[in-house]
Amino acid sequence: MDNFGIQEALAELGLKDINEGTSTGSHHFSNGPLIESYSPVDGKLIGKVKTTTQEDYEKVMETAKAAFKEWRVKPAPVRGEIVRQFGEKLREKKEALGKLVSYEMGKSYQEGLGEVQEMIDICDFAVGLSRQLHGLTMHSERPGHRMYEQYHPLGVVGIISAFNFPVAVWAWNTALAWICGDVCVWKPSEKTPMCGVACQNIAAEVFAENNLPEGICNLINGDYTVGEMMTKDTRVPLVSATGSTRMGKIVAQEVAARLGNSLLELGGNNAIIVTPDADIKMTVIGAVFGAVGTAGQRCTSTRRLIIHDSIYDQVKDAIVKAYEQLRIGNPLDENNHVGPLIDTDAVAMYNAALEKVVAEGGNIVVEGGVLSGEGYESGCYVKPAIAEANNSFEIVQHETFAPVLYLLKYSGDVMNALDIQNGVAQGLSSAIMTNNLREAEAFLSVAGSDCGIANVNIGTSGAEIGGAFGGEKETGGGRESGSDAWKVYMRRQTNTINYTTDLPLAQGIKFDL
Ligand code: UN1
């Protein structure tokens, strides 16, 4: 295994002694039982990370609150300069971190690098934004009065992230929260704890070099019970959570019960509509990457292809042919297209989905299966599968985090395809492949896609950081990353200033004493 330079990468990221469960950075407060992280790539132990107890959490929160007092008074562009330095450090460590992401999560090295690139990109974005946290000015109805609004930091922002993007989603939240003047407490997925410690180490270096408290960036580890410490904590005004809809519903309720804010980025059930005017070659690339990239474990992965009946067989044949070319194996080997699933529980869910689609009357077009033998010792490698199905099947309505693609047929005009596309509980990403302007515009119109992301002649996955990222319905409604997503990390204050010697009341009310 070592020929892929894993040990060197771990050393570069300060993760060498992690076998003793050494926690580093501000994570040194953690004293709970160890989480062992096994690679889905080869089934080997990567390291052990200490979990956070309630007592540890209290210390983290005290540290974070103290750091907030210092951080919030730094001018936003000064905070931007720190984020710029963090982005520089990420550039230096891109290969090592990309490799760890690939090894601990199982996505291809290319995608691991891509994920670190998203971190770098959001840092650059945040640096520019640090001079643009604009509020509006309004005209007061009263003479000699000035009215405007300003944005202030919120405080401690809690971040709960998923295994599938073990570093980028944290960075989307953190880079914005930092320039907004917030401090962060991050609970990464217990399936990818090493990635969390690696990021904490990189951030800690930057804060130390600038004589800033490391409590601006905090790491806690463990399962959902550790996440719950934040969701129930009134000291955490915003909890940003990425993961399953099941998890999101619990987080939303716990945070709402104390009238906190939550930013939710949950499950998707993303479809590509393929119309008679689609470019078939582009469709195949977009659909296959969308369905098998990251072994189908992106929240933006393509789950459903909605194909017009006039070109159904042609598209089906082309996709099946492309699947025949797929090489499944060690994701650190650049010759492979598809790596492993995260763990054997995910493999069981994949198997169950394939059984269920058959039981519901689906027709398997590309056979799935779990791979065994040399190179597949971890038991996490599966064959990407395709089934012809019906949108009403329970399994098609459900997000299975695995490379299972459902082919659905539509006839007539594009509105029929949109009914199918929108006919699921989730609303994250969507796409249409067409060269027909009318179809494309109908898809983007008020009566079109109901998702947070709607692409034309692009697949469903691989969104750029510059746009707001998130979706509707069971996807949770939150928006992270680009555009004006930063506003969620700040509190808005309306200020009215009277520079006269009179006190006229609004709405013309008379109140003479
Ligand atoms: C996720 O799967 O949680 O759009 C995030 C994409 C990536 C991010 C996915 N930029 O596929």
Residue-wise pLDDT tens digits, 111-125 = 999 999 999 999 999
Calculate Rg over the CA atoms of the chain: 24
Q: Is 217 in the pocket of ligand 1 (CB under 6 A)?
A: no
In the reported structure, the alpha carbon of residue 481 is separated from the centroid of ligand 1 by a whole-number distance in angstroms of: 11
Going by alpha carbons, the residue nearest to atom 3 of ligand 1 is 299
Tokens of 445: 């119109």
Q: Is the confidence at residue 23, as pLDDT, over 80? A: no
Measure the CA dihedral 42/43/44/47, to 10°. 120
Q: Is 458 in the pocket of ligand 1 (CB under 6 A)?
A: no
What integer is the mean pLDDT of 195-205? 96
Q: Is the confidence at residue 27, as pLDDT, over 70? A: no
Tokens of 182: 């917030």
Q: Tell if the pTM clears 0.80, that is, is over it.
A: yes
Which has the closest alpha carbon to 293: 463, 475, 465, 461? 461
Give percent of the chain with pLDDT exceeding 70.
97
Q: Is the confidence at residue 471, as pLDDT, over 80? A: yes
Please work out, in degrees rounded to the nearest 5, the angle formed at the alpha carbon of residue 411 by the alpha carbons of 407 and 416.
90
Contact 61, 53 (CB under 8 A): no
Q: Is the confidence at residue 103, as pLDDT, over 70? A: yes
Contact 268, 162 (CB under 8 A): no
Q: Is the confidence at residue 253, as pLDDT, over 90? A: yes
Q: Is the confidence at residue 19, as pLDDT, over 90? A: no
Out of 18-27, 93-102, 174-183, 367-376, least confident range: 18-27
pLDDT tens column, 257-311: 999 999 999 999 999 999 999 999 999 999 999 999 999 999 999 999 999 999 9
State the pairing for strand pair 468-469/480-481. antiparallel
Distance between CA 129 and CA 314 in Å, rounded?
47
Mutate to test the pocket of ligand 1, among 108, 118, 167, 298 (most ligand atoms within 8 A of CB): 298
Q: Is 462 in the pocket of ligand 1 (CB under 6 A)?
A: yes
Give pLDDT, residue 16: 73
Which has the closest alpha carbon to 437: 328, 277, 318? 277
Contact 235, 68 (CB under 8 A): no
The more confident residue out of 303 and 15 is 303
Q: With residue 283 as reference, give the H or E element that holds it.
A: helix 280-292
pLDDT-derived band at 29, boundaries 50, 70, 90: confident
Q: How far is CA 9 from CA 6, 91, 206, 297, in A?
A: 5, 14, 19, 24
Three-class SS of residue 183?
strand
Contact 132, 477 (CB under 8 A): no
Distance between CA 303 and CA 42 in Å, rounded?
27
In the reported structure, the alpha carbon of residue 459 is separated from the centroid of ligand 1 by a whole-number distance in angstroms of: 12
Going by alpha carbons, the residue nearest to atom 6 of ligand 1 is 462
In the reported structure, the alpha carbon of residue 465 is separated from the centroid of ligand 1 by a whole-number distance in angstroms of: 9
Nearest atom in ligand 1 to the alpha carbon of residue 297 is: 2
Going by alpha carbons, the residue nearest to atom 7 of ligand 1 is 462
What integer is the mean pLDDT of 141-166? 98
Give pLDDT, residue 458: 97
* Phi, psi (deg, nearest 5) at residue 68: -60, -40
Distance between CA 251 and CA 241 in Å, rounded?
8
Which has the closest alpha carbon to 292: 265, 268, 322, 316? 322
Q: Is 461 in the pocket of ligand 1 (CB under 6 A)?
A: yes
Q: Is 169 in the pocket of ligand 1 (CB under 6 A)?
A: yes
Q: What is the DSSP string of 395-463?
A: HHHS--SSSEEEEEEE-SSHHHHHHHHH-SSEESEEEEE-S-HHHHHHHHSTTS--SSEEEESS-SS--
Give percent of the chain with pLDDT exceeding 90.
95
Distance between CA 428 and CA 407 in Å, rounded?
19
Nearest atom in ligand 1 to the alpha carbon of residue 453 is: 4
In the block, tokens 């953690």 appear at: 30
pLDDT-derived band at 206, boundaries 50, 70, 90: very high
Q: Is 103 in the pocket of ligand 1 (CB under 6 A)?
A: no
Q: Is 297 in the pocket of ligand 1 (CB under 6 A)?
A: no
Please work out, in degrees rounded to the nearest 5, the angle formed at the alpha carbon of residue 454 by the alpha carbons of 365 and 417.
50
Give the ipTM: 0.97
Give pLDDT, residue 409: 98
Tokens of 128: 């520019």
In the reported structure, the alpha carbon of residue 268 is separated from the centroid of ligand 1 by a whole-number distance in angstroms of: 11
Sign of CA dihedral 383, 315, 425, 118: positive
Q: Is 298 in the pocket of ligand 1 (CB under 6 A)?
A: yes
Q: Is the confidence at residue 489, as pLDDT, over 80? A: yes
Q: What residues are labeled active site?
A: 265
pLDDT tens column, 388-424: 999 999 999 999 999 999 999 999 999 999 999 999 9
Q: Is 242 in the pocket of ligand 1 (CB under 6 A)?
A: yes
Nearest atom in ligand 1 to the alpha carbon of residue 463 is: 4
Mutate to test the pocket of ligand 1, among 113, 121, 165 (most ligand atoms within 8 A of CB): 165
Q: Is 165 in the pocket of ligand 1 (CB under 6 A)?
A: yes
Distance between CA 424 and CA 63 in Å, rounded?
43
Sign of CA dihedral 95, 101, 103, 104: positive
Give pLDDT, residue 513: 87
For the chain, give the mean pLDDT: 96
Contact 472, 450 (CB under 8 A): yes
